[in-house]
Amino acid sequence: MAPLVLVGAIMSIGIAVTNAILMTAAAMIAGMAPITLGLGEGSEQTAPLGRAVIGGLLGATGATLLVLPAVYALLQRWASSHPASLHPHDPQIRYYVQPAEDSSEQ
């Protein structure tokens, strides 16, 4: 029983990493629902696989929709609001260097 749970965990991690997590997760949860119910003969052996996949996908989808945007919002607060210009004579950047006056004009 434990190896099937491990396979289910690996499957849910693989799907959670993909970019289309919502549609892929919904299709996988719908596909694993009959396995999770375990209604057929001998299906109680594969039910843990379905539970592991469904639980992992629900957790990963929740983390993607709730935790990831919260972490991003916190990191954006700490981000610098200075422009990304590296030109030393741009007066809007943090490391602005005042241009030296030309002494040859005197």
- What range defines the domain where residue 73 resides? 2-77
Q: How far apart are CA 5 and CA 53, in angstroms?
A: 8
Indicate whether 52 belongs to any domain: yes
Answer yes or no: pTM beyond 0.85: no
Indicate whether 21 belongs to any domain: yes
Indicate whether 103 belongs to any domain: no
Which of 52, 61, 50 minimizes the C-alpha distance to 18? 61
Cβ atoms of 61 and 16 within 8 Å: the answer is: yes
- Kindly list the distances between the CA atom of residue 4 and the CA atoms of 12, 18, 25, 32, in Å, as whole numbers in the listed order: 12, 22, 19, 13
Indicate whether 20 belongs to any domain: yes
Indicate whether 96 belongs to any domain: no
> Residue 27: helix, strand or coil by DSSP?
helix
User: pLDDT tens digits, the chain, 106 residues: what are they?
Assistant: 678 788 888 877 777 776 556 788 888 899 999 999 988 888 888 898 889 889 988 988 888 889 989 998 998 888 766 656 666 667 777 666 777 776 555 5
